[in-house]
Amino acid sequence: MQGGYMGKVLRVDLSTEKVSEEEVKEDIARAFIGGRGYGAKIIYDEVGPDVDPLGPENRLIFATGPLTLTPAPTGGRYVVVTKSPLNGVIAGSNSGGFWGPELKKAGYDILVVQGKAERPVYLWITDGTVEIRDASHLWGKDVFETTDMIIKELGPDKKIRVACIGPAGERLVKFATVSNDKARTAGRTGVGAVMGSKKLKAIAVRGSKKVRIANPGKFKEALRTAMEKIKANTVTSQGLPTYGTMVLNHIIDSNGLYPTRNFQTGVFEGVDNVSGERLVETYLVKRKPCFGCPIGCGRVTRLPDGEEGEGPEYETSWAFSADCGIDDLVSVIKANNICNRLGLDTISTGATIACAMELYERGYLKEDEFKGEPEPRFGNAEAIVHYAEAIGYRKGLGDGLAEGSYRFAEEHGHPELSMSVKKQELPAYDPRGAQGHALEYATSNRGGCHVRGYMISPEILGSPEKLDPFATQGKAQWVKTFQDLTAVIDSEGLCLFSSFALGAEDYAALLSAATGFHYTVDEALKAGERIWNLERLWNIGVGLGKKDDTLPRRFTEEPMPDGASKGQVVRLDVTLPEYYKLRGWNTEGQPLEEKLQELGL
């Protein structure tokens, strides 16, 4: 096998308790790289369109990339790939920390879990050996308790790494997470619910193996260049290390696309109180970087009552503050900590609560539905803390909220008040303030998402160059390039934040030197395009198409009322046809035969 890979796929069938190994296939690795790409290929080959996401036939894939565990900057990532229970699409949820590198140390690039256990179990994987252990005593425990109990049970080795679900995953909350190293999460698309449906509580890993670099000399050269760029870039060397991702709160608000009160406007009067700067002044304890990360955007916080946790990140701070009309940072941190412990996607949790708040204020959600619980109205800080926990345990109104904002709003007769794409809640950028980002939202293969082609970088932050956020011309090409490049980064096992400083030439150079496969920039981007089209083909198989490449009508019909983006609406009528053409798809968003042949699909 080439460098960068351990060369092994571990397959565990929980129904039969059969454990087997397979070779990483070199042709698939060359074409799809690893991580998200290799995982998508397994889903495409093995999971049919009619498979129940929460049924035993679904696959739950933990996939590292060829740069995971290497000295490549931010080489600590892995991706969880499955069929999403939230929206039925091909899910790929990315996480950092230290678990992914440890899986490779244990000898495996990829873990494929299928079937369903008869009782709660966890996996213990170490240096090529695998045990399926009883987890009945862990069922019901939160993420932190589970992690501590497993490490204590397995021995004094502090380098054991645990990925697990909390009560939200056990209760099949549609946006439950898989959490590793306690507070790092594969957060979006409900991958934790799939893990819960299989009665798989946790996966503990420990290893001592090393990954081989195919061309050490060229790798050192590529690494030196990449590190110099990261140190020279103000975002990766100053902004993110100092303020974490919450460096964005003021920036996005000042540009008029900081979604407030369920995206009713793009400016929040309380932004000062929930900003990254305020967090540093008050509750920040220290930075906490992931494996191999020179950026170090992770945060450890401590509240006046002694409660300690990690985060909140930008998306979380927005979801529980501006989106819910709340400027109480303590309540935001508490809600974040609850999500970390219970295993909840903070974006979908906060956004679903915000949707309920608008439904209530418009009279569509009645008081008898939440009798005895806090009033779900904008500005009620008690509500975000209460309902975060209620969702995780499916208690009271939280049981309905646990289905996600789209199903909840649809049940109340107003699905248009769910700010979602393909039934996944949108993150912290109002699309009316950035036309390219709006197109990325609409076309994202996993539903509402900001990290499958982060157009905020050029449209707002000016990286790699500053674009007019309100212009539509040329945006389709930018979105396509960013989506393809992100697929490469996710598949290599690197963090998207490295792309503030690095370009396609850096990712191609690192990948080529590590693996021994030679990738030009065009070949690397072609691999990303291949991954994107494979995901698209799978989604078409489950019934998705042009009708789903859209946004809530709030963004296409209601001009932004306030702020720097005032008067703007999203122009998908202009950008989407151009995007389809550039992708080599027909007018219905289906890849043409020539494109499939070009990509070898």
Q: What is the pLDDT of residues 554-576, one digit of tens each?
A: 999 999 999 999 999 999 999 99
pTM for this entry = 0.97
Q: Are 266 and 428 spatial neighbours (Cβ–Cβ below 8 Å)? A: no
- Please tell me the distance from the alpha carbon of residue 255 to that of residue 443, in angstroms, as a whole number: 23
- pLDDT bracket for residue 155 (50, 70, 90): confident
| Tokens matching residue 116 | 């369903």
Mean pLDDT (the chain) is 97
Pick from 123, 109, 73: nearest CA to 225: 73
pLDDT (mean) for 398-418? 98
Residue 2 has pLDDT above 90, yes or no: no
Per-residue pLDDT, 584? 98
Q: What is the mean pLDDT of residues 285-291?
A: 93
The mean per-residue pLDDT over the stretch 469-481 comes to 98
- Nearest 5°: the CA angle 291, 184, 292 is 10
Q: Are 518 and 214 in contact (CB under 8 A)?
A: no
Mean pLDDT over residues 170-184, rounded? Answer: 97
Residue 402's pLDDT is what?
A: 98
Q: What are phi and psi of 380, to 5 degrees?
A: -90, 100
pLDDT at 150: 97
The percent of residues in the chain predicted with pLDDT above 90, rounded, is 98
Q: Is 198 in contact with 60 (CB distance < 8 Å)?
A: yes
3-state secondary structure at position 180: strand
Two tokens, residue 26: 């070199």
Question: DSSP label at 256?
Answer: T
Question: 38: burial class by Cβ within 10 Å (0-12, 13-18, 19+)?
Answer: buried
Give dist(CA 599, CA 107) in Å, integer. 31
Kindly state the helix (H) or strand (E) to which residue 481 belongs, with its residue range.
Answer: helix 475-492
Region 63-76 average pLDDT: 97
Please write the tens of the pLDDT for every residue from 13-32.
999 999 999 999 999 999 99
| Residues 284, 231: Cα–Cα separation, whole Å | 23
- Across the range 42-58, mean pLDDT stands at 97
Among 119-123, 154-158, 511-515, the range scoring the smallest mean pLDDT is: 154-158
Query: For position 378, what pLDDT does the model report?
Result: 98
- Which residues does 1 contact at the CB level (< 8 Å), separation at least 6? 7, 23, 24, 26
CB 424 within 8 A of CB 447: yes
CA 138, CA 147: separation in Å to the nearest integer?
9
Q: What is the pLDDT of residues 416-468, one digit of tens each?
A: 999 999 999 999 999 999 999 999 999 999 999 999 999 999 999 999 999 99
When pLDDT is averaged across residues 358-366 and rounded to a whole number, the result is 97
Q: Set out the domains of the chain in order of their start, with CATH numbers.
A: 8-206 (3.60.9.10), 260-418 (1.10.569.10), 431-599 (1.10.599.10)
Q: Give the separation between CA 78 and CA 93, rounded to whole angstroms.
A: 8
Say whether pLDDT at 340 is over 90: yes
Quote the DSSP letter at residue 272.
G
| 518-566 residue pLDDT tens | 999 999 999 999 999 999 999 999 999 999 999 999 999 999 999 999 9
3-class secondary structure, 424? strand
- At 167 the pLDDT is 98
Residue type for position 477: Q
Give the pLDDT of residue 137: 98
Cα gap 199→591, rounded to integer Å: 37
Any residues with CB less than 8 A from the CB of 72 and at least 6 apart, and which? 223, 226, 292, 492, 493, 494, 510, 514
Alpha-carbon distances, residue 290 vs 227, 450, 584 (angstroms): 16, 21, 38
Instruction: Tell me the three state secondary structure of residue 269.
Output: coil
pLDDT band at 365 (very low <50, low <70, confident <90, very high): very high
